[in-house]
Each structure stands twice: as C-alpha cells, then as structure tokens.
Amino acid sequence: MELGLESKVALVAAASQGIGKAVAGALHSEGARVAICARSEARLQDARRDIEARSGREVLAVCADVSDGGQLQALVEQVQQHWGAIDILVNNAGGPPAGSHEDIADAEWARAFELTVRSAGRLTDRVLPAMKARGWGRIINISSYSVKQPLPGMLLSNSLRLAVLGWAKTLASELAPYGVLVNTVCPGWVATRRVDELLQARAQQQSTTVAALRQKICDGIPVGRLGRTEEIANTVVFLASQAASYITGSAIAVDGGAAQVF
C-alpha cells in the first residue's frame, strides 16, 4: 500500500516516550520529516537520537510544554522555519492525574483543561492556515478508550477527553471541504511508563501487587494482553496517509476489544 508520507512534515507532541515517541518513529520510518516536542530536554534528546539512529535522517526536537500557549507558538514557528509548512499534526499530551470528584480542586480542573483540551486547540490553530491554503492536512488526536467506556478513578481524563472528541468531530465537518481530515485514536491499556506508574499507585492504595492488577486488566481484554506502542503508532500512520483519504471525524479504539461500547 502506498502511504504517500515521503517528505511530509509531521509534528508530534509529547513525543519523548511512550505512544508519542512510537508515533514519531513510525512516521519517520515512512519517510516523513518529523519534529517532536516534550517538556523534558533530556528525554527529548534521547528520543531524537533513538529515532535518528534507525535511518540516519534528522529529527527536529524542540523543548515545549503543550499547556503553554506561548511555547506552542514558538514551537510551530521553529518547525515551519526548519521544515516548512506542517502537513500532519499529532495532538498528544500526558494524561491528567487520577482522582475522583471529591479529590479534584478547581485549580486541578484548570490545569487539566489547559493540558488536555486547549493544547490540541492551540496547536491546531497554528497549523490550520497553511493546511487550508494547500488543500491537504491531517490532524490526529491521541485520546483514550475511556471516551467509549469511562475508567474508575479517572474523572478528569474521562471528562476532558470527551471534550476533545466533541471538538474534533465538529472540526472534522468544518474542515472537510478544505481537504483537512481530523480523527482521534483511542488507545486502551498500553505498556507504557504512565501505565506502570498508574498501576504502582493503585497497587499501594489497594494493598496488592502490580502483577496482580496487570493480570486483572488483561483478563478483561479479549486479546488477553496490554497493547504495544507500535500498534497505536501503526493506526496513526495509516490515518496520516493518503490511504485514509475518506476517513474523518472518527474515533478509533485500538484497545484489543476492551471497550464494551462501540
């Protein structure tokens, strides 16, 4: 299948590790010119070197906090100066902290909103003019299968990721006449550092082990295991490609069948 990603310019947010890094690596392997960002300079440069080592081609790494509008403006300007107009935007951010309704203060709601919702809108605002002018673009949001089946103890994520989904569906209709497609990928339980940290916290709270919690999760997934980051990345690459030219406004669960609502 011809994906048509050679020399396309892709910006992947929060790409120093986990799903974001896997997505950046997969796009890079398909010939895209890839820019990545993250808050940690050290982790960002480690990711850059790792991705570059696979092909010898350059990866542009820019330290930026996606919850800071000023830093996002500088990020996009630097990518455009280096690579030219951005063809593919992958909106991604670390998930908001766990907690129930009574645990979450107003300030935490505000921080989570900036991280999860506004970061996607702000980055999109900055790449859209060039996409619309060229009549081609791909905006892909990394979300969670919790938009289809809320997860216990994840009130902020359950709430705000649905806000992104509603925004993306509306935006898809508005941008389709311009040739700009908007889709959302909804990973299930994936073997990442964030999932490890979440399981460790839950194990302490519940006086159990991480292994026991992981097994319980796997028992509830029809394919019987956690996902791999490259499996999420493969879906993103397809949606970013020429082959996905008739898909927009979709929320695609990549969860091993875990979500019971479809």
DSSP state at residue 188: -
Residue 126's H or E segment, with its range, is helix 119-134
Q: Which two tokens stand for residue 223?
A: 């394919």
DSSP state at residue 97: P
In a structure prediction context, what are the per-residue pLDDT tens digits for the chain, which is 262 residues long? 789 999 999 999 999 999 999 999 999 999 999 999 999 999 999 999 999 998 889 999 999 999 999 999 999 999 999 999 999 999 999 877 777 787 888 889 899 899 999 999 999 999 999 999 999 999 999 999 888 888 888 888 889 999 999 999 999 999 999 999 999 999 999 999 888 888 888 888 889 999 999 999 999 999 999 999 999 999 999 999 999 999 999 999 999 999 876 5
At 248, give phi and psi (nearest 5°).
-155, 150
Q: Which two tokens stand for residue 107?
A: 């300030």
Specify the pLDDT at position 62: 98
Strand partners, 184: 141, 251
Specify the pLDDT at position 169: 97
Is residue 138 classed as helix, strand or coil in its secondary structure?
A: strand
Strand partners, 185: 142, 252
Residue 254's H or E segment, with its range, is strand 251-254
Query: Residue 8 and residue 29: Cα distance in Å, rounded?
Result: 12
Specify the pLDDT at position 103: 83
> In sequence order, what are the residues at sequence separation of 6 or more whose Cβ sits closer than 8 angstroms to the Cβ of residue 126?
72, 73, 76
> In sequence order, what are the residues at sequence separation of 6 or more whose Cβ sits closer than 8 angstroms to the Cβ of residue 108?
96, 97, 99, 156
Specify the pLDDT at position 246: 98
Sign of the torsion angle spanned by Cα atoms 230, 184, 12, 17: negative
Specify the pLDDT at position 61: 98
DSSP state at residue 98: P
Specify the pLDDT at position 261: 62
Specify the pLDDT at position 205: 84
Cα angle: 84, vertex 185, 201; to 5 degrees: 110
Query: Residue 18 and residue 192: Cα distance in Å, rounded?
Result: 5
Specify the pLDDT at position 262: 57
In contact, 210 and 199? CB cutoff 8 Å = yes
Closest CA to 19 of 229, 255, 227: 229
In contact, 186 and 141? CB cutoff 8 Å = no
Distance, C-alpha 122 to centroid of its chain: 15
